[in-house]
Amino acid sequence: MKTGYAFKNCNIIYGEAEKGIDQGLTMLTGPDGLIQEIGKAGDVAVPSYYQTIDVAGKYIMPGLINAHVHLFADGKPFALSASEGLLNFAFHHILDTSLGRRILKKRMKKNALTALHAGVTTMRSVGEFFYNDVQLRDEIQAGQFVGPNLLVSGYFLSVTGGHGAPYLALTGDSPWEARKNVRINVKNGVDLIKICVTGGVTDAKMVGEAGRLQMTEEEVAAVCDEAHKIGIRVAAHVESTEGVRIALRGGVDTIEHGAEMDEEIIHLYKNNPKALQGYTALIPTLQAAYPTARLDVSLTKASATVKENSRLVYDSMLKGLQQAVEHGVKIGVGTDAAMSYVTHYDLWRELDHMMRRTKLNASQVIEMVTKVNAEILGMDHLTGSIEIGKYADLIVMERNPLEDIQALSDAAMVMVRGRLITAPSVTRIQEVDELLDRVWSIQE
């Protein structure tokens, strides 16, 4: 049974950089899962049937939003060096079976709950197998279990031989085939479309393939037109400057990963008439490339090709982020969780990384991972900031993240749509955490 809560003695971080912190407030969250009232203790009438929680000395802020995740894996290192024949056998005889699909869905649910217990109340899943992400979203919305708000894309859209193909992608080699694949995903209930404009690090067979153009501008434009006419956003995997240009010209709504920019690209980010909102946002994923790019292969067990592609992608992606900060491009936050060394519980590392390598401060990255992400995803009327009438998506922390961003690594309480988790529990992956602590200690 749902109940209302009264949080008293609140130190509130609203999710907007200019607001700072308000101290000593009372906040009510109603049985309907919405934030009901915020005010000074003497001005807020608490219903007798509400549960009162004293959070004196703690800090409350909006739940985190991870705008780029995959749920099929948990961040443990994995290798993709198997032959095509072995991958084909494993997919069709293990993964694509009734048992394999059940096991995969169970793992995806576990990863979504890991993220929630780590304070991530909203996730945008950008590429999964078999529409299991659609099923999980529907189960959460139906109240079958308490989970994060999920936006889901189902399969990638790619080209023959392109990134994610053939196992994780619907493939097409013309604008009309691209439109057809949009329609297939929409029929299966997705919230957004994810396309692969260039190659990627994980399945590249040679150095330089990660950013190589794969989709044409005409194919990108067809996808965007088909999706936008029904109000669906398009996210584009892109890992090169020319890939970013093609994606922007085609009208995508978000660039995932990104690359170094020029004047035309900067202008298109900020003023993109073909994008649904009139602009395109950048979702960098520094955390996904950095460990493999910087650590020795004796530690990561990555191949020389993967290491060099990671280095090329990371360096260009970082430059693009720095340019985006300098030129006022809208920037969101995503981690590429599921990739090697990117867990579902360490979103704070991406924020820390952004602060180390740009001029952004803690209040700015917190706004980006809450309010700005919600705006980019089209959810700011529901979540992303602490405001009356929005979802009660909240995290409670023992320490102030404005003073130490690592405070976000350990949530004392988590609330999603008014459902309170009083003792969040995260099972951490020791081998990954130790390696990340090592790479994060490298000062450049």
Structural domain containing residue 353: 64-377
Regarding predicted confidence, which is higher, 303 or 74? 74
281 and 143 housed in the same domain: yes
Q: Choose among 137, 125, 225, 237: nearest CA to 182.
A: 225
DSSP string, 247-278: HHHHT-SEEEE-----HHHHHHHH--TTSTTS
38 and 125 housed in the same domain: no
Tell me if 218 is assigned to some domain: yes
Q: What is the pLDDT of residue 295?
A: 84
pLDDT in tens, 419-429: 999 999 999 99
pLDDT in tens, 386-417: 999 999 999 999 999 999 999 999 999 999 99
Is 70 exceeded by the pLDDT of residue 234? yes
Query: Rounded distance, CA 395 to CA 22, Å?
Result: 16
Q: Mean pLDDT across the stretch 29-35?
A: 98
Is 80 exceeded by the pLDDT of residue 1? no
153 and 262 housed in the same domain: yes
Is 90 exceeded by the pLDDT of residue 44? yes
58 and 72 housed in the same domain: no
Q: What is the pLDDT of residue 402?
A: 97
Tell me if 123 is assigned to some domain: yes
Provide the mean pLDDT of the chain: 95
Q: What is the pLDDT of residue 165?
A: 94
Is 60 exceeded by the pLDDT of residue 81? no
Q: What is the pLDDT of residue 92?
A: 80
Residues contacting residue 192 through CB under 8 Å, at least 6 positions apart: 124, 126, 151, 152, 153, 227, 232, 233, 234, 235
302 pLDDT band, cuts 50/70/90, is confident
Q: Mean pLDDT across the stretch 329-357?
A: 97
Tell me if 430 is assigned to some domain: no
Q: Choose among 124, 117, 1: nearest CA to 383.
A: 124
Q: What is the pLDDT of residue 83?
A: 54
166 and 215 housed in the same domain: yes
Is 80 exceeded by the pLDDT of residue 78? no
237 pLDDT band, cuts 50/70/90, is very high
153 and 207 housed in the same domain: yes
Residue type, 226: E
Q: What is the pLDDT of residue 87?
A: 67
88 and 207 housed in the same domain: yes
Tell me if 317 is assigned to some domain: yes
CATH of the domain at 160: 3.20.20.140
Q: Mean pLDDT across the stretch 210-228?
A: 97
Q: What is the pLDDT of residue 440?
A: 74
229 and 328 housed in the same domain: yes
Global model pTM greater than 0.95:
yes
Q: What is the pLDDT of residue 88?
A: 77
Q: Mean pLDDT across the stretch 101-125?
A: 97
42 and 159 housed in the same domain: no
Is 70 exceeded by the pLDDT of residue 24? yes
430 pLDDT band, cuts 50/70/90, is very high
Domain count, the chain: 2
Tell me if 433 is assigned to some domain: no
Q: Mean pLDDT across the stretch 212-229?
A: 98
CATH of the domain at 12: 2.30.40.10
212 and 352 housed in the same domain: yes
206 and 269 housed in the same domain: yes
75 and 217 housed in the same domain: yes
22 pLDDT band, cuts 50/70/90, is very high
9 pLDDT band, cuts 50/70/90, is very high
Q: Choose among 380, 366, 284, 274: nearest CA to 325.
A: 284
Query: Could you say which of 347, 377, 407 is where a domain stops?
Result: 377
SS3 137: helix
The H or E element spanning position 25 is strand 21-29
